[in-house]
Amino acid sequence: MTSQFDTETAVTPIAPGRYAAAFGPGWVVGRAINGGLSMATATRAALAALNEPEGHQRWEPLTVAACFLTPSQQGPVELETEVLRAGRSYAAAQVSLRQPAPEPATAAPVERLRVLVTAGTLPGADVSPQRSVPAPTLPDPADCLGPRDAAADFLPGMTLMDRVDLRLDPTTASWAMGRPTGKGVLRGWLSLADGREPDPLSLIWALDALPPSSFDLGIPGWAPTIELTAHVRARPVPGPLRVEITTRTLYGELLEEDALIWDAAGRLVAQSRQLAGVRPIRTDRGTG
């Protein structure tokens, strides 16, 4: 059975270096498509362009740096890739992710994301890091807070929650009851709801799958991503991921959110940093 994640990030070649995709009604957060899902789709296009000449899946994602230009919406997607480098150990590609202009029909497509992907070979699931950050201790998933525990008015339209099995450590979820701790940290167990096991591509998505850590600072409203750079460090083993996100710096109307992900074996497998705005920003026609 093909997973929703794989179906909904699939890219189809339409010309050399160009791919089509479609953002479905799942993965909606607020009034936009989840940024992690659009990054995963762009990464899939970059890897397709890099792997195509050799006809096999040689290249895996090492880093994915994305500028968020306008919020992605449901509907068709066009991805244009440019191979920047194809060396012995490393490769790199650029992706422009665009969607048709809402109106008029003859207007140029609107760019959503511009992405730089570096690729290489990841340590396998049987490889231990020589040096790493230990996984946090989390309560048993049954003792964590899932979407069913959230206030009823918190989730309308947030279809992402149908795709995700997220269980937050209750000590980092008191903001959901109106009592943020002020620490700026959220931690929890994360899986895809249909049981699809994690791989390097789904880690790209998982780095941007939690509610913003600014909720725990008492900052209401979603924090639109301006830039997010993801690092994948190893192939994950099957099983639920442990995710920790932290905001250490808030300056004016900008904050950073750092994410760390460990696999079911407790190995650090991905990390990221994003810059996000904390001011309410229009999501209908761009964030500027």
Q: Would you tell me which residues interact with a second copy (CB under 8 A)?
A: 62-63, 65, 67, 69-70, 84-92, 94, 111, 114, 116, 118, 120, 122-123, 127, 129-133, 184, 217, 226-227, 229, 231, 233-234, 247-252, 254-256, 268, 271, 273, 275, 277, 279, 281, 286-288
- Is 85 in a helix, a strand, or coil? strand
Q: Which is nearer to a second copy, 8 or 60 (CB)?
A: 60
CB of 7 to a second copy, least distance (A): 29
Question: Token pair 């994305």 is at which residue?
Answer: 66
| Torsion angle in degrees (nearest 10) through CA of 17, 21, 23, 24 | -170
- Single out the residue of 228, 232, 226 nearest to residue 271, CA to CA: 232
Q: Which is nearer to a second copy, 18 or 273 (CB)?
A: 273
CB of 190 to a second copy, least distance (A): 20
Which residues, 6+ apart, have CB-to-CB distance to 201 below 8 Å? 9, 40, 43, 44, 47, 61
CB of 225 to a second copy, least distance (A): 10
CB of 115 to a second copy, least distance (A): 8
CB of 161 to a second copy, least distance (A): 28
- Single out the residue of 74, 83, 60, 84 nearest to residue 112, CA to CA: 74
Q: Which is nearer to a second copy, 52 or 149 (CB)?
A: 52
Q: Which is nearer to a second copy, 55 or 288 (CB)?
A: 288
Q: Which is nearer to a second copy, 159 or 213 (CB)?
A: 213
DSSP state of 176: G
Whether residue 259 contacts residue 244, with contact meaning beta carbons closer than 8 Å, is answered with yes
Cα–Cα distance measured from residue 248 to residue 171, given in angstroms and rounded to the nearest whole number: 18
